[in-house]
Chain A
């Protein structure tokens, strides 16, 4: 076990050296959908062009909740959002309609917003053009005659927001068959409707996929959906500290029309142009030099290895002693096993959300979540491995004159080592998979291309994250086979 500790220690040291950060950059956040990526890039590049302050991008972070926590905690400085979202989801005051009212309310939280960037991106319902023709659908009200048979795929946020689904059915007196409504990740609902797996989805009105997939928007006769003016949301302290940069961003007020936004979204979603190029084209500047996919993968690999390595080191250094303690003290043992099992049942996205108020965004909450997740396999396998050691060997060892420490290190741990190592291996491989979610809180890693590929519905981009992650898991498997040869005593190994 000592050898393994040294190996992890050294490799972590190497990663640590690779991670030198420039001091205090301006951090631009963004949500996990195309428009937010594009707007985030525009903000980042315009500040880079006009200011000496370095800019860091944390684009493609999870939901509104994560972004908002990140902004409050100072992990990001500014990000693009929409007036309706701010009033509904953040302030929980849907009655606030004007930007001034919203700005006033946000002020109490130490936040501020710009004026409208020039376009309204509201929720809308969409069906396929053929479907609309077949059922003579023009407005949302036309859904009533076919309401019980309709198969809908709505995003989680839409289903849960008061200005989303619940208010919609009330306003239009719709009664869909609840059995036929699926909650799904927004970007997947496009694929589902394209393959006729569902008939009706919620969309953002500037989404380029509406054109690409030949969808028809249903008119909102009741003016039910609130206005979603795009704005920059920033922390006041950022505005005070960087007034020039904030002025640069305010320069975009009224400058991005609905048409321009839809066009940029289409460039990303349909023509598969990179976000930074689209932003550069809009700003009339040269696109930043492409970093090359190899360097990009190398960077993501470093980030991913760091996440997995640290959590693994933690699970070994903490999990094994916890497992040993669990064997020695029965009551404490049950408590340890139970609590690490409970942690395992918390969905990873929810755990990340819980951890943001404590750790902010970026590496820390991601690492904390991964550490917690990798604990159970190590603790449990240490516990089971030790419990499975024949007690006769323990008594014999004492009769031969081994002291407690020697019994543990010379007899118990070596005999339990195959199970123990299997636990560490499970923790590693689960960690490699789970670490892809770290991108949602801005910790990078292989999850970053997966998340942005998901936003773009671009399988190629997703694969640039998914394939290396799978390869890393394979390599980890191989490394553990080799480690088994070193760490498992020869007498316990399978015969060749």
Chain B
């Protein structure tokens, strides 16, 4: 499981995160949601071990982030950046296998793992020979998930996984993503500004506003028992925006 306890971060005298708590049970999918400037990107970078924080701790399966090096931590948390974040100069396959190669895995083990993950994300074998510039948004997203899962991390962290996709693909991929998460059986933290996506994919939501945790709970909790007027405001704003009916 993934635990963030009392995380605080001040940047140039400004409080960016103030005593944030977040806990994702093993195998669960959790969404961190908030508008831009809410501090969710900072929290994501802290969770990845990329920037230091002032207070609190981050733990995966009861092991604290601070007791590991960046490289060791990276094997415990699989990261899917916005738009997939594939390296443009190497093929999809090499993107997936890069870290395993650097860790000295034998080729047979790499091949086996890639094939296994390819089936999980349901990707054509031929696509793996392509370069990122030759792939569709959905294909890139799937390859990025394969890459994140390659080292079999305990936790997967996805940053705005659907943001760059057009609405039709979004719909299909959302459904697939849900089943991929189920098949992988990982603890997943999803960072997004999109309520619809968060509600569809995650059982639990944590809403962040101006560096403070506003509320954690199911969508139903947020809707029926909002912790503050902001929660209602946020939900209503998003519902008006997505009249296409993405919010159930």
Closest to B82 in A: A392
Which of chain B's residues have a CB closer than 8 A to the CB of A392? 81, 85
**Contact call B131/A490, Cβ cutoff below 8 A:** yes
B89 partner, pick from A396, A400, A415, beta carbons under 8 A: A415
Residues of B118-171 at the interface with A, using a CB-CB cut-off of 8 Å, are 131-133, 147, 151
B99 at the interface (CB under 8 A from A): yes
How far in angstroms is the closest Cβ of chain B from A12?
29
**Is B15 among interface residues, defined by CB-CB distance under 8 A?**
no
| Alpha-carbon distance A401/B98, docked complex (angstroms) | 10
Instruction: Tell me, in angstroms, the Cα distance from A414 to B88 when the chains sit together.
Output: 10
Shortest A220–chain B CB gap in Å is: 72
Does B102 sit at the interface, judged by CB under 8 A? yes
The CA of A398 and the CA of B79, in the complex, are separated in Å by: 11
Binary interface encoding of chain B residues 89-130 relative to chain A, with 1 for a CB under 8 A from any of its CBs, else 0:
111000000110010000000000000000000000000000
CB distance from B126 to the nearest CB of A (A): 16
User: Which of B69-77, B179-187, B224-232 has 4 or more CB atoms under 8 Å from chain A?
Assistant: B69-77
Within 8 A of B (CB), among A410-432: 410-411, 414-415
Residue B50 lies at the interface, judged by CB distance under 8 Å to chain A: yes
B87 within 8 A of A: yes
How far apart sit A261 and B131, CA to CA, in the bound complex (Å)? 73
- Cβ-defined contact, B98 with A400, below 8 A: yes
B89 near A402 with CB under 8 A, answer no
Within 8 A of B (CB), among A12-37: none
Measured in the bound complex, the distance between the Cα atoms of B72 and A399 in whole Å is 10
Task: Tell me the dominant secondary structure on chain A's binding face.
Answer: helix
Indicate the member of A393, A395, A400, A414 with the most B CB atoms within 10 Å.
Answer: A400
Contacts of A397 in B (CB 8 A): 87
Q: How many residues of B contact A (CB 8 A)?
A: 26
A400 & B99 in contact (Cβ 8 Å cutoff): yes
Chain B residue nearest to A417 in the complex (CB) = B89
**Which of B73, B75, B79, B89 interacts with A489 by CB under 8 Å?**
B89
| A402 interface neighbour in B49, B102, B133, Cβ under 8 Å | B102
Distance between Cα atoms of A397 and B79 in the complex (Å): 10
B24 at the interface (CB under 8 A from A): no
**Interchain CB contact under 8 A, A399 and B74:** yes
Cα distance A14–B90 in the bound complex, in angstroms = 35
Contact indicator B79/A399 (Cβ below 8 Å) = yes
A-B contact count (CB 8 A): 61
> A191 within 8 Å of B by Cβ?
no
8 Å CB contact of B75 from A401, A403, A410, A411? A401
- Distance, CA A280 to CA B226, complexed state (A): 108
Residues from chain B with Cβ under 8 Å of A395 in the complex: 45, 50
Does B90 lie within 8 Å of A489, measured CB to CB?
Answer: yes
- B215: min CB distance to chain A, Å: 28
For A402, the chain B residues whose CB sits under 8 A away are 71, 99, 102
CB distance from A227 to the nearest CB of B (A): 71
What CA separation (Å) do A397 and B72 show in the bound complex? 14
Chain A contacts for B102, CB-based, 8 A: 402, 406, 410
Interface size (A, Cβ < 8 Å)? 20
B133 touches which of A399, A401, A414, A491 (Cβ 8 Å)? A491
Is the CB of A492 closer than 8 A to any CB of chain B?
yes
Q: Are A410 and B98 in contact (CB under 8 A)?
A: yes
Known A-B contacts A400-B99, A491-B133; A411 and B87 likewise in contact (beta carbons under 8 Å):
yes
Cβ contacts under 8 Å, B90 to chain A: 414, 489, 491
Docked CA distance A406–B50 (Å): 16
> Quick check: is B48 within 8 A (CB to CB) of the other chain?
yes
Question: Quick check: B71 and A393 within 8 Å, CB to CB?
Answer: no
CB atoms of B88 and A491 under 8 A apart:
yes
A residues less than 8 Å from B133 (CB atoms): 491
Hey, which chain A residues are within 8 Å of B85, CB to CB? 392-393, 396
A496 → B minimal CB distance (Å): 13
**In the bound complex, do residue A401 and residue B70 qualify as a contact, i.e. CB atoms below 8 Å apart?**
yes
Q: Indicate whether A396 sits within 8 Å of B132 (C-beta atoms), given known contacts A401-B71, A406-B102, A491-B88.
A: no
The docked-state distance in angstroms from the alpha carbon of A490 to that of B95 is 13
Decide if B71 touches A403 in the complex (CB within 8 Å).
yes
Closest-by-CB residue of B relative to A393 is B87
Which A residue sits closest to B144, measured CB to CB? A396
Please report which residues of chain B, range 57-83, place their CB below 8 angstroms from some CB of chain A when the two chains form the complex. Answer: 70-75, 79, 81
A262 to chain B, nearest CB (A): 68
Cross-chain pairs A/B with CB under 8 angstroms, 20 sampled: A393-B87, A396-B85, A398-B74, A399-B48, A399-B49, A399-B74, A400-B74, A400-B99, A400-B147, A401-B72, A401-B73, A401-B151, A402-B102, A410-B98, A489-B89, A490-B91, A490-B131, A491-B90, A491-B132, A492-B88
Return the 8 tightest CB-CB contacts between A and B, nearest first. Answer: A401-B74, A489-B89, A491-B131, A491-B89, A399-B48, A401-B71, A396-B85, A399-B79
Interface of B with A (CB < 8 Å)? 45, 48-50, 70-75, 79, 81, 85, 87-91, 98-99, 102, 131-133, 147, 151
With A396-B79, A397-B87, A400-B74 already in contact, 16 other A-B pairs whose C-beta atoms are closer than 8 Å: A395-B45, A395-B50, A396-B81, A396-B85, A399-B48, A401-B70, A401-B151, A402-B99, A403-B70, A406-B102, A410-B98, A410-B102, A415-B88, A490-B89, A491-B131, A491-B133
